[in-house]
Amino acid sequence: MTSAKVSLPPGTIVLPYDLESDEPELESDLHRDQIDILLKCLKAWWKDRDDFYATGNLTIYYSPDQVTTRDFRGPDFFVVLGAENRPRKSWMLWAEQGKYPNVIVELLSDSTAAVDRGLKKRLYQDTFRTPEYFWFHPHTLEFKGFYLSRGEYQPIEPNQQNWLWSKELGLYLGVLESELRFFAPDGQLVPTPGEQAAIAQEQAAIAQQRFEQAQQQLEQERQSRETLLAKLREKGLDPDQF
């Protein structure tokens, strides 16, 4: 039995659903490591959530025509809220209910800074309508952020620590030891899994030390009590009478 061919109406556009990401190599190890830090920290912080997608250096296809015109973009780091948290080859708007990123972070370099500050900023503002856009230069540490208000990006004012608040993420972004990091609303650093493991190990060591100190204190008190009882007996006194 042969399967019947499905006839499509003339002019029907068949959208591709298996496009691979088509991004160039990252500028440096610093750029790659920075993306890795942001991803690991956010995914660990939101480990109990499955309603977001966070990735880095992945192509966003927002028009089928881009497959041939190559007019597509791949932000260094972006987060889409309300999306299924699963691996993807690329982000295709027509396969994702038309969802654009809620937050984008671009890592500047000498060769891309002008585009990130100009062309990409306009694209994310006018086409993507991304609520928040940040850029960070891993070498010069230039760091700025913008929020979308009435169709235009407005600068996010820094707090006393020069951190920028992300309403979309519910976290601060700030520079710490030459790296862009996340901070909780109470100012707590959002740790990497490695940092979290080191913190847990340190806390366990402190707890063990306190336990041993408590045991030593109990032993000293026991020995003092035994010494006192022995002295009472030497004097012919019955300790049970006291």
pLDDT in tens, the chain (242 residues): 443 444 434 443 546 677 887 656 666 788 899 999 999 999 999 999 999 999 999 999 988 765 554 555 789 999 999 999 999 999 999 999 999 999 999 999 988 899 999 999 999 999 999 999 999 999 999 999 999 999 999 999 999 999 999 999 999 999 999 999 999 999 999 999 888 766 655 555 565 667 667 677 777 777 778 877 787 777 777 767 66
- Which residue type occupies 111? S
Which position has the token pair 């006839």? 7
Which pTM was predicted?
Answer: 0.76
Q: How far apart are CA 66 and CA 109, in angstroms?
A: 25
Exposure of 94 in the CB half-sphere (CA atoms within 13 A): 13
Where in the chain are the domains? 29-189, 195-241
How many residues appear in the chain? 242
- Which residue type occupies 99? K
Tokens in use for 156? Answer: 């996010």
CATH number of the 29-189 domain = 3.90.1570.20
